[in-house]
Structure 1
Amino acid sequence: MTRKKRVAVLISGRGSNMTALIKAAKAADYPAEIVGVFSNRAAAAGLGTASADGIQTASLAQSSFDSRLDFENALTKILENWAVDFICLAGFMRILTPQFTERWLGRAINIHPSLLPAYKGLDTHARAIADGVSEAGCTVHFVTPGLDEGPAIAQARVPVRPDDTAESLAARILIEEHKLYPKALEMLASGQITYNG
């Protein structure tokens, strides 16, 4: 049997997408294993969830470093110690430097709560509702130096209802995120997709 790809998940909070990835990776035929979870917040609830599952965890506060680059160099050392093949960003609330994204180009993916290229950045659900769009959703994409600009790997679509609030739409999209992210990681780890720029 081929070796499972080693994956680190980067979080900033409760890590619900991280939990979905951990659950999927427990299947014997899943091509990836979650070997580490990192957070830029020591109090992130997801660290406890990962630890309870026997997964290595680490956290560093960017405020402890002189620069973003110093912080990311320390993060890279942790990822290298875990010998990771791929990185999954799951609610990691830091904008990464071009140096970091270039270092992991083609091996780092992110999930974003919109149908990219629409609604990059924050407040995606409120912006979609304000624009009166008929559908929203989520996208798993490769991480590149531009914010939410990397090539899409997979998307899931969700109808926008007339009575939707940002919260109700977000809740329905999150259900789809928890299905989509494990599928996208499976495609990447099995070699079904690769980054070609």
Structure 2
Amino acid sequence: MKRIVVLISGNGSNLQTLLDQSAAGQLGGEVVAVVSNKAEAYGLERARIAGTTTAVLSNKDYGDRDSFDAALMQLIDSHEPDLVVLAGFMRILTPGFVRHYQGRMLNIHPSLLPRYQGLHTHQRAIEAGDTEHGCSVHFVTEELDGGPVVLQARVPIFAGDDEATVAGRVQVQEHAIYPLVVRWFCEGRLTMQQEQAWLDGVPLPAQGHAGE
């Protein structure tokens, strides 16, 4: 059973899907700890309800990004994870941190990468007049939201949609594809080699993978 540590900063809706599937034995791994940089993050309560170990490490207690990330690495490594999952962890990670977990850290981003890296993706898609939007699960590399994409899900944008409507539509898909990708990793089907995502021994296209 693979050991998973999840990092959060907020509500933790993606975390909830992982906890539910872990409890049901559908994830191929166990969420052994949830770590947040914000004590008020509701995701911590979700983890406590699920009986999962929680920890808070506030970046405000550290003088710089390097010292915070060093402490965070020490905390994560104390749980001996096979996989680190970013689920709304609102921190830009240092290169040393990323290298330490290279090939065993995943993130979900609310856009069809490489479009709309960074923040406010839904509003940016609406303002651009896009008719399609979505989310991407990718391996984390030193480039912000730039690691190899594993899987994407697409949703329509209709005339008159606002940011909240689009965000809700995307979130439904996030809850579907993130646990799936985590399961692939836990089952040994998904790896990262030569800066590329591989599934079942086959390199995935740069834009992501269309399905199972």
- Normalised to the residue count of structure 2, the TM-score between the two structures is 0.89
The answer on 1:182 being equivalent to 2:179 is yes
Q: Which residue of 2 aligns with 1:27?
A: 24
Aligned match for 2:92, one of 92, 95, 98: 95
Amino acid of the structure 1 residue aligned with 2:114: P
Cα root mean square deviation, aligned: 0.9
Aligned match for 2:160, one of 147, 158, 163: 163
Measured in 1, the distance between the counterparts of 2:49 and 2:26 equals 23
Gaps of 5+ in 1: none
Deviation at residue 14 of structure 1 after TM alignment? 1.1
Output aligned runs, 1:1-197, within 5 Å: 4-196=1-193, 197=195
Provide Cα deviations, 1:76-111, integer angstroms capped at 9, x if missing partner. 111111111111101100000011001101100000
Amino acid of the structure 2 residue aligned with 1:113: P
Provide Cα deviations, 1:30-66, integer angstroms capped at 9, x if missing partner. 3111000000001111111101111000011111112
Structure 1 segments of 4+ aligned residues over 2 angstroms from their partners: 27-30
Deviation at residue 29 of structure 1 after TM alignment? 4.7
Q: Report the 3-state secondary structure (helix = DSSP H, G, I; strand = E; otherwise coil) of the residue aligned with 2:66.
A: helix
Amino acid of the structure 2 residue aligned with 1:119: Y
Deviation at residue 28 of structure 1 after TM alignment? 2.6
Provide Cα deviations, 1:129-179, integer angstroms capped at 9, x if missing partner. 111111100000001011000000111000111121111000110011011
Measured in 2, the distance between the counterparts of 1:157 and 1:110 equals 17
Measured in 1, the distance between the counterparts of 2:173 and 2:19 equals 16
Measured in 2, the distance between the counterparts of 1:28 and 1:145 equals 32
Measured in 1, the distance between the counterparts of 2:154 and 2:21 equals 21
Amino acid of the structure 2 residue aligned with 1:85: D
Measured in 2, the distance between the counterparts of 1:50 and 1:27 equals 15
Identity %: 45
Q: Number of aligned residue pairs: give it.
A: 194
